[in-house]
Amino acid sequence: MAVPREQFLSPVWRDGIFENKVLFCTGGAGTICSMQVRAFVALGGNACIIGRNPEKTERGAADIALVRPGAKVIGLVADVRDVKALEDAANRCVKELGSLDFAIAGAAGNFLAPMAQLSSNAFKTVMDIDAVGSYNTAKAVLPHLVKSAQKHKNTGAAQPTGTGGRIIFVSASFHFTGKPLQAHVAAAKAAVDQISHAVGIEYGPYGITSNIITPGPIANTEGMARLSKADPESQKKFAKKIPVGRYGQVKEIADATVYLFAETGSYVNANTLVVDGGQWRVTGAADSESWAYPDFLLSGAVVDGVAKGGKKSKL
């Protein structure tokens, strides 16, 4: 059954703005990235989503395709840590769908752990997936994005063929202020941000735009399940600390994606769009009641009460 449109896209966008365009998305079956892809496909595009789990990826592609009659969405298996596999996936995307005009580097891994309980291997795993994986994604898609940008010129004027040649990196805000239990992800996402900036600076002259979307606490996502306790009282207390007073919705990340990919984002480059209700402005080391700073760290206790990652996320 197709996800209702109002769950992943605001009604302000005009249908068909991504007609005959193709999106390549790593982590495309995830709870946030799948909605970004849905929005793109609903507005006329086709897509190729990349994941490590064949069943999840193929099922995700088939589900996304339901948002628009005639949509083409393919699911390809590749590990973002393998640049050759990503290059092969990008080439196959072009062969099967005709082009590669947009990209989202969204594959990521996360879990809560203090440095005292975080092994070097666990730290490296997150760096490899988030940071190296984002770099590998960029390397794989940039030749295709350059071709798209040449075809769909970024002049600031309305183009009859629409836009193309754009990439979005999905990041986080932990490294803005510092946060306990997230040394691995803060380091990885800081690197992701700099990779995106480098792409924007070095490939801007080719017509490419590269930007970052930084989601805040988004309801009903894998990330929130792993990073916050699920009981209603904890959720309520956490939401009160967000300036707008609520969790975000996946639709709000998808809308930000459309904004950056459409003509609305033509002059936005090497920038960070934080979609978090202002949360990062009021958080830091002491923002968690569940794992109170510094008492929790000094206690030597193990993080509990959150969803656990798979085998690849174990310490």
The Cα–Cα gap between 141 and 129 comes to: 17
Q: Cite the beta strand spans of the chain per DSSP E.
A: 22-26, 46-51, 73-77, 102-105, 166-170, 209-215, 271-275
Task: Calculate the dihedral angle through the C-alpha atoms of 136, 214, 48, 44, rounding to the nearest 10 degrees.
Answer: -140
The Cα–Cα gap between 300 and 302 comes to: 7
Catalytic residue among 189, 196, 210, 229: 189
Token output for 235: 């959720």
Catalytic residue among 171, 210, 266, 288: 171
With CA atoms as reference, report the closest residue to 249 among 2, 6, 14, 3: 6
The Cα–Cα gap between 161 and 84 comes to: 31
**271: β partners:** 211
Active site residue 151: no
DSSP states of 243-276 as a string?
TTSS-B-HHHHHHHHHHHHSGGGTT--SEEEEES
The Cα–Cα gap between 108 and 184 comes to: 12
Q: What does each C-alpha distance from 245 to 7, 114, 222, 241, 315 come to in angstroms?
A: 20, 28, 21, 7, 34
DSSP structure class, residue 299: H
Question: Look-up: residue for tokens 């929790």?
Answer: 296
Active site residue 234: no
Name, in order, each residue with C-beta under 8 angstroms of 150's C-beta and a sequence gap of 6 or more.
165, 206, 207
With CA atoms as reference, report the closest residue to 51 among 87, 25, 72: 25
Report, as residue numbers or ranges, the catalytic residues. Answer: 171, 189
